[in-house]
Structure 1
Amino acid sequence: MNLESPKVSVGKSPEDIFIFLEDVKNFESLMPENISKFEVLSDDTFIFALSGMPEITLKKKEVVPPNKIVFGAAGGKIDFSLIGHITEKDENSSEVKLEFLGDFNPMMAMMIKKPISKFIETLATSIPKAV
């Protein structure tokens, strides 16, 4: 399953956005209102839970400054990635798009498609206000 957030314009350089996203504690400010848990486990790992959903642990897997950052599932039964793509528009503005990649059976994909789409859209649209 491949889901993408809308592209979001941010009045910052790709470097500024990348530095913000690379610091896992900043993800707390991007989370939706229905977050029930957020905890930084290490410099590259955090755990969060949304109301009514299981806890998810994300670990930084790959960094390509200043254009790409990849977080992946750390443990658990489901393997997926959350990828941040940062594109420079000009020296003081950028576009950010989040991509969710996961390999799920059709039943699971059908159940989680809408909540995951809404989640990555919320993360992406929160970036301009948080950076």
Structure 2
Amino acid sequence: MTIIQNSVDIHKPIAEVYTFLADLNNHEQLMPDNIYNWTSTADEARFTIKNMAKLALKISQRIENKEIVCIPSEEAPFTITLRWRVLETSPKVTQATFVIEAELNMMMKMMAAGPLQKLVDHQVNKLQETLA
């Protein structure tokens, strides 16, 4: 299992950060430029990654003010889970951690680990910008 993650402190109460992340409609704002054909509901999102693949994700679990878990809703090139974890560090500061867990063979890991890390880094930075 390959685990790729990054965290950021957001100067907002945990409920506000969680509510934003719990709605997949908001996640389009966090995506990099190579994502297009985005469609979403509160529970599902579909999009295309330029020169790579189409993905369909759904929220499989919500734990209020703690975690949102997304899994593919259709067949994906590999087993993958995306998790947003939120932790209150003070009443007005929330630590948000984005974790991608992927079942990658050695060849896939060499090809995908860099782009997945860039995606994680981009999304936590965009979350901080968007909720600033």
TM bracket (short chain): over 0.9
Question: 1:56: how far off?
Answer: 1.1
Secondary structure at the counterpart of residue 18 of structure 2 = helix
Q: Which residue of 2 aligns with 1:3?
A: 4
Secondary structure at the counterpart of residue 71 of structure 1 = strand
Q: Which residue of 2 aligns with 1:66?
A: 65
**Structure 1 position 51 matched with structure 2 position 50:** yes
Q: C-alpha distance in 2, partners of 1:63/1:35?
A: 24
Runs of 4+ in 1 over 3 A off after TM superposition: none
Q: What is the aligned-residue identity percentage?
A: 22
Q: C-alpha distance in 1, partners of 2:54/2:123?
A: 17
Q: C-alpha distance in 2, partners of 1:128/1:43?
A: 20
Matched residue pairs, number?
Answer: 129
Question: 1:130: how far off?
Answer: 1.6
Q: Which residue of 1 aligns with 2:23?
A: 23
TM-score by length of structure 1 reads 0.92
Question: 1:106: how far off?
Answer: 1.3
Question: 1:68: how far off?
Answer: 0.8
Counterpart code for 2:37: K
1:61-87 Cα deviation digits (max 9, x unpaired): 111110111111111142211101111
Q: C-alpha distance in 1, partners of 2:60/2:72?
A: 9
Unaligned runs of 5+ in 1: none
Do the aligned partners of 2:4 and 2:101 also contact (CA within 8 Å) in 1?
yes
Q: Which residue of 2 aligns with 1:84?
A: 84
Counterpart code for 1:23: D
Q: C-alpha distance in 1, partners of 2:88/2:42?
A: 26
